[in-house]
Structure 1
């Protein structure tokens, strides 16, 4: 879809780079997955609850499977 990975940042806003709050590429330990935008943060915050519900629903199967 894009010529390289950095082009996705400009797709929604034309050719103007998004504002940067510190350069993630220059930090000693950059995040494995950087969440950008309130909607992304909300989805990540909700995920543990969804994982817990699914685990509770399928716990009996998970525990009955010997590995």
Structure 2
């Protein structure tokens, strides 16, 4: 009959070693990540927001004579 205690302990030790290896790798990666200089992030508008912003910009740059506010009532 198989020695289940021996088999269990072998699997348990191997699982424990694997977990410790993964933890060590994660800690190494975290250290590498936090040691890097910070990167400046830039938020880009969504395409629909870009179109609206461009339209507002175009409207603001129009000559006053072409805007609705200056039309005769």
TM-score scaled by length of structure 1: 0.31
Asked which structure has the greater RCO (Cα within 8 Å, sep 6+), the reply is: 1
TM-score (norm. length: structure 2):
0.29
Larger-gyration structure (1/2): 2
- Structure with greater helix share of residues: 2
